Structure 1
Amino acid sequence: MVILTDENSSFDSFPIISLEKFLTEKSKQALEEAANSVDYALTNFGAFYLIDHGIEARVLDKVLKDLKTFFLKPVEEKRIYELKDNYRSAVDDLAFSLKKILSTAMGQEENFLEKLTYRAAPMMKANFYPACEKMSKDQPRLAEHTDVVPMTIMLQDDTK
């Protein structure tokens, strides 16, 4: 299901997609509906906000808390850490589901993207971008770029 925050499809509107039916029913019809929603969102907006994705709130809250603590540490101390929790495996499972949905949205077999990417090691990057109250023209920022991976899943914190 696609829910738009604004009927006029302005720049501020963003598609919101729920995976609840796909994850609970696991039917061909639920897969097709999810694929149609993703296809619409990517064709018209280039991205979407995912809800009801199956990753428990406690797992998301813990990784955000741990990352916030991590980014406050000195660089020397950061280098010794390794992420060991349920977040990575939960996101890997979500990526597997999204590959099925995207493959179907492209009119391919469910396992099309999985076959193309099965040897690629999934990677996780954690970035910290502090809140910026007022943006100026010469403000340093992340330059426009193309991700080197076929799919990017981002977890948004409460930074505005």
Structure 2
Amino acid sequence: MIPIVDLTRYSLSVSEGDAPTHTLKKLADEICSAMKNVGFVYIINHGIPEEMVTEIFALSKTFFNKPVEVKRNFARPVDDSNGWIDLEKEKLNPDRPFCDLREAYNMRPTRNSTMPEDIFPEFTKSFKDFFMICENLTWRLLDLLAIGLDIDRDYLRQCHQKMGKEQNNTTLRANYYPPIRATDVKEGQARSGEHSDYGSITLLFQDDIGRLEIKAQNGDYMPVKPIEGAIVMNLGDMMERWTADSLKATKHRVLLPVDENVQKRSRQSFAFFVQPDDDVMITCLDKSNRYPPISSLDYLKQKFATIYK
């Protein structure tokens, strides 16, 4: 079962200094326990307005519904991860025979070459605003992780201080899974193949379609059912490595729906992939040297090389 953590007393609507120490410790222990045992947690009462989430989903769908010829003008360059990504251009699980049946759009505020500002200015503004509020929530979650790990409280935040700027690859991604017909699908194909995320943490906003599944300790996959107003937070590989496997980056996937009625509906999600600053050296916090040091940027480059086809 995926734990639920209520962030009411440390939400974005509460001044950081107003949260009592015992409250922060309780929240930190709850989050770290979830990350140790499951790798996923639902965050409720976080302070990101639901109307803001609704708006970004609607604008995103408007963009993805535009003709391919239009979207292609904003495609991801070969030397960058930002921009539009067409169907069957990524393979998150290299062991699957075919690329994933999903579109995506990656965005960082400092990389504007693929932003559709001329044809869709409200899309660009909403993306940037949503990026910033996710960043604000991330500061608090990194604070709680540091408290739960019993390390210098400022350490993780200092390692991510360039979020939203150059020298940091934190990315907001819109995922779009178009309606499908059985004849569109290749044998063994998935919406998103089995994988774990690459960075520190991920904040996921999903619609009511569901279909996200995580790998349980017994090896079976279980659903991450949508909870209204909740953010799904999960750990990335880099944080697992950083904590010498104390915290867990859990594999997850999105399979194709079996129900024909669901197949006729599109699915959407937003992921805020949090990365340490490019030059941060990921060295085991417990000094165990379980993994050799590697820079955040070099680790990310290694991962990207396996998924873009």
TM-score tier, shorter chain, comes to 0.7 to 0.9
The aligned amino acid for 1:15 is P
* Partner Cα separation in structure 2 for residue 18 and residue 133 of structure 1: 39
Q: State the TM-score, normalized to the length of structure 2.
A: 0.44
Question: Where do residues 1-160 of structure 1 align in structure 2 (5 Å cutoff)?
Answer: 13-23=1-11, 24=14, 25-78=18-71, 79=74, 80-81=115-116, 83-85=124-126, 86-119=129-162, 120-130=168-178, 138-160=188-210
How many Å apart are 1:129 and its aligned residue? 2.5
How many Å apart are 1:45 and its aligned residue? 1.1
When the two structures are aligned, how many residues end up with a matched partner? 148
Gaps of 5+ in 2: 75-114, 118-123, 163-167, 211-309
Over 6 Å off, 4+ runs: 131-137
CA deviations on 1:8-41 (whole Å, 9 max, x unpaired) are xxxxx22111110123342222211110110111
Gaps of 5+ in 1: 1-12
* Partner Cα separation in structure 1 for residue 135 and residue 143 of structure 2: 13
For the structure 1 residues 31 and 116, does the alpha-carbon distance in structure 2 shift closer, same or farther, using more than 3 Å as the test?
A: same
Worse-matched range after superposition: 70-79 or 31-40: 70-79
| Equivalent residue number for residue 305 of structure 2 | none
How many Å apart are 1:102 and its aligned residue? 0.9
* Partner Cα separation in structure 2 for residue 87 and residue 39 of structure 1: 26
* Partner Cα separation in structure 1 for residue 173 and residue 7 of structure 2: 24
Q: State the TM-score, normalized to the length of structure 1.
A: 0.80
Q: Contact conserved, 1:15 with 1:48, CA < 8 A, in 2?
A: yes
* Partner Cα separation in structure 2 for residue 132 and residue 15 of structure 1: 32
How many Å apart are 1:152 and its aligned residue? 0.8
CA deviations on 1:103-133 (whole Å, 9 max, x unpaired) are 1111112211112222324311111134789
The structure where strand makes up a greater share of residues is 2
The aligned amino acid for 1:37 is E
How many Å apart are 1:137 and its aligned residue? 6.6
Worse-matched range after superposition: 80-89 or 15-24: 80-89
Q: Percent identity, aligned pairs only?
A: 28
* Partner Cα separation in structure 2 for residue 133 and residue 96 of structure 1: 42
For the structure 1 residues 89 and 73, does the alpha-carbon distance in structure 2 shift closer, same or farther, using more than 3 Å as the test?
A: same
Ranked by relative contact order (alpha carbons within 8 Å, sequence separation 6 or more), the top structure is: 2
Q: Contact conserved, 1:130 with 1:159, CA < 8 A, in 2?
A: no
- 3-state SS of paired residue (1:102): helix
The aligned amino acid for 2:25 is E
Structure exhibiting the larger radius of gyration computed from Cα positions: 2
